[in-house]
Chains A and B, each alone.
Chain A
Amino acid sequence: MTDTTIDTARLQARKRIRNARISAFVRYVVLLAVGLVMLYPLIWLVGASFKTNNEIFANPGFMPQNPTLDGYIEGWKTSTPYTFGTFFLNSFKIILPKVIGTVISCTFVAYGFARFDFPFKKILFGSVIAILLLPNVVTRIPQYILFRDLGWLDSFLPLWVPSALAGDAFFVFMLVQFLRAIPGDMEEAARVDGANSWQTLLFIVVPMLAPALISVALFQFMWTMNDFLGPLIYISSVDKYPVSLALKLSIDTTEAFAWNRILAMSVLTITPALAVFFAAQKYFIEGISAGGIKG
């Protein structure tokens, strides 16, 4: 009697292990299949950028038959008087001030929300959530008129200034959530020791907030690099084009047969975002899990 019970128990245990193995196997197969289908277009893109034009629409494989740098060399020159070098420089001229402005202004605002009490705090924090959900499409036209009246059209100011005034509510929200999770003991101690709120922010809060600030900087970098509609509306001179507009321009102006140039430049424009992601993926994943994110 006891023997049979032990036997059934053993049998069940063995069955459970077998089921677990099958389950793991099925999961791997699904993950690999999905991963391959998802990443193949990107892999193909990289291969295709080294192919000749004829081969792009003839060879579904990754490896180019006659690898050539033609796409890169010709694509880099563009059909404008400028090279892609100018456009990359423009992109970075937009990105750098925007990221710095975002990090500084959002730190101040998040610190204010998380550590102080003041009149209308509830309404103001409510407005952060409201901006988060507010479709930009409603404010875009008057913003354009405002920037036109200020004489800011065809400059980078419309892209910089709203972010420098903590306009990206998502980052404010994320930093407030992050700060609320950190106990205020250290700041209290600093205050007792005579530090003012500004010193407390700079020497105590900012170092603790550092990982979250890195996430903010990385996301803003990536989004600005990918941003298309903003530059499309505000930038009109070709010499100020960022890479996203330059790429669109090259589709419109490149002769219909020079696909490899466009694909080669596409590879170049996604490289900075990819490099940053792989160098700092931990911050991306933590950032999304912490705040929940669009994208």
Chain B
Amino acid sequence: MTSRRFLGLGYLAPYIIGLLVFTLVPFLASLYLSFTDYNLMSAPTWTGLENYIDLFTNDRTFRRSLTVTLIYVFTTVPLKLAFALFIAYILNYRLRGINFFRTAFYVPSILGGSIAIAVLWRYIFATNGLVNMGLVGLGFEPVNWFGDPTNALFTITLLRCWQFGSAMVIFLAALQSIDKSLYEAASIDGATKFTSFVFITIPLLTPVIFFNLIMQMVQAFQEFNGPYIITQGGPLKSTYLLPLYIYDEAFKRFDMGYASAIAWVLFVIIMVLTLIAFWSSKKWVFYAGDKRS
């Protein structure tokens, strides 16, 4: 039996090596580097809290970047989840062709992360691109998408909302597992569609809402391809999200210590928000019976 105990660890060997070499050690190393000045040429020199003090007291780019990142995450994640839930709710019905729609709505998620789609976005939101041609055709004024700071960030939000497929598929699977008799009982008691949605559907969906919320948030904080290709962080740094700033500091200016400090600020923000979500989940996430779904 002892040999079998170690057999399990044997199967885990690749994972354990990878965990140590590519995750645990780099994780600690980046914390250490964030307290140093390191330009890859000479050994890191310990500077204590200097990087962090710099960040918060005299780095206007950082403050701008942090603000933009928070605005981006807090608009993109709720919009994307609301849209995914809305479409999943409509799809959750005995409709003919539901598989066709589910596939069609998932296509953008297959491609959304690719550079090709970011390129496409650059063209369709250009001054005389597809979107403005459509707006003019409908009798509206064309919009200056990339010249205006608010609009530019919004094009990236739109790109990520366009990829709502994964969240939708998860919502749809959860909706299909809800016991129909609950709705029948509610409608006999006089509940309208809307009240049953609010008091039956939403509570039963809270576990998947929670799951989607965390996953989408962690992902949104790391958005890179969209702003890098579509807007290059501009105009006026209005789409200069923190991952772009980290990339520039680390791989263009080779200021590894400073870049690590920014990465750690970003990490701590994500951690704190995730912990708040987990902690508050006891109050709002509803697990039916003991079955954790």
A: interface residue count bin: 35 or more
Report how far A273 CA is from B128 CA in the complex, Å.
29
Whether a CB of chain B sits under 8 angstroms from the CB of A139 is yes
Does the CB pair A141–B256 fall under 8 Å? yes
List of B residues within 8 angstroms of A288 by Cβ: 166, 169-170
Closest chain-A Cβ to B245's Cβ sits at a distance in Å of 11
Whether a CB of chain A sits under 8 angstroms from the CB of B108 is yes
Closest chain-B Cβ to A47's Cβ sits at a distance in Å of 11
Q: Which of B25-33, B57-65, B198-206, B283-291 contacts A (4 or more CB under 8 A)?
A: B25-33
Interface string of A103-136 (1 = CB under 8 A from B): 0010011011101111101001001100101111
Report how far A130 CA is from B192 CA in the complex, Å.
42
Grouping DSSP codes into helix (H, G, I), strand (E, B) and loop, the B interface class, with mixed when no group exceeds half, is helix
Closest chain-A Cβ to B54's Cβ sits at a distance in Å of 17
Does the CB pair A165–B137 fall under 8 Å? no
Interface string of A256-273 (1 = CB under 8 A from B): 000100110111011001
Report how far A233 CA is from B10 CA in the complex, Å.
33
List of A residues within 8 angstroms of B8 by Cβ: 112-113, 115-118, 121
Q: Which of B11-19, B45-53, B149-157 contacts A (4 or more CB under 8 A)?
A: B11-19
Does the CB pair A118–B109 fall under 8 Å? no
List of A residues within 8 angstroms of B115 by Cβ: 226, 228, 244, 247-248, 266, 269
Contact A118-B9, Cβ < 8 Å, known A141-B259, A288-B169: yes
Does the CB pair A44–B111 fall under 8 Å? no
Closest chain-A Cβ to B242's Cβ sits at a distance in Å of 8
Whether a CB of chain B sits under 8 angstroms from the CB of A181 is no
Does the CB pair B250–A165 fall under 8 Å? no
Q: Which of B70-78, B140-148, B178-186, B210-218 contacts A (4 or more CB under 8 A)?
A: B210-218
Whether a CB of chain A sits under 8 angstroms from the CB of B102 is yes
Closest to B169 in A: A288
Whether a CB of chain B sits under 8 angstroms from the CB of A146 is yes
Whether a CB of chain A sits under 8 angstroms from the CB of B55 is no
- For B26, B259, B264, the residue with the greatest tally of chain A CB atoms inside 10 Å of its CB is B26
Whether a CB of chain B sits under 8 angstroms from the CB of A17 is no
List of A residues within 8 angstroms of B169 by Cβ: 285, 288-289
Does the CB pair A165–B15 fall under 8 Å? yes
Interface string of B219-241 (1 = CB under 8 A from A): 10110110011000000000000
Closest to A276 in B: B110
Does the CB pair B123–A259 fall under 8 Å? yes
Whether a CB of chain B sits under 8 angstroms from the CB of A284 is yes
Complex interface residues of chain A between 53 and 103 (CB less than 8 A to chain B): 56-58, 60
Closest chain-A Cβ to B232's Cβ sits at a distance in Å of 10
Report how far A141 CA is from B261 CA in the complex, Å.
11
Does the CB pair B229–A251 fall under 8 Å? yes
List of B residues within 8 angstroms of A247 by Cβ: 115-116, 119
Contact A138-B30, Cβ < 8 Å, known A57-B126, A118-B5, A295-B109: yes
Report how far A45 CA is from B130 CA in the complex, Å.
10
Whether a CB of chain A sits under 8 angstroms from the CB of B263 is yes
Interface string of B99-134 (1 = CB under 8 A from A): 001111111111111111101101110101110011
Does the CB pair A145–B109 fall under 8 Å? no
Complex interface residues of chain A between 30 and 55 (CB less than 8 A to chain B): 30-31, 34-35, 38-39, 41-42, 44-45, 48
Does the CB pair B9–A119 fall under 8 Å? yes
B33: contacting residue among A41, A118, A128, A141, CB under 8 A: A141
List of A residues within 8 angstroms of B40 by Cβ: 145, 148
Report how far A146 CA is from B26 CA in the complex, Å.
8
Report how far A226 CA is from B112 CA in the complex, Å.
9
Whether a CB of chain B sits under 8 angstroms from the CB of A6 is no
Closest to B164 in A: A38
Closest chain-B Cβ to A32's Cβ sits at a distance in Å of 9
Contact A229-B225, Cβ < 8 Å, known A162-B18, A222-B110: yes
Whether a CB of chain A sits under 8 angstroms from the CB of B56 is no
B113: contacting residue among A142, A162, A226, CB under 8 A: A226
Closest to B274 in A: A133
Report how far A136 CA is from B222 CA in the complex, Å.
8
List of B residues within 8 angstroms of A281 by Cβ: 103, 106
List of B residues within 8 angstroms of A39 by Cβ: 104, 107-108
A-B pairs with beta carbons under 8 Å apart, 26 shown: A39-B104, A39-B107, A41-B130, A42-B120, A48-B123, A112-B9, A115-B8, A117-B8, A134-B27, A138-B30, A138-B263, A139-B22, A141-B259, A142-B26, A144-B251, A165-B18, A167-B22, A244-B114, A266-B115, A267-B116, A270-B114, A277-B106, A289-B169, A293-B170, A294-B215, A295-B165
16 A-B pairs besides A117-B5, A289-B170 with CB distance below 8 A are A27-B90, A31-B95, A38-B104, A39-B107, A105-B18, A108-B13, A118-B6, A138-B30, A142-B27, A143-B22, A165-B15, A228-B113, A266-B119, A269-B115, A270-B111, A295-B165
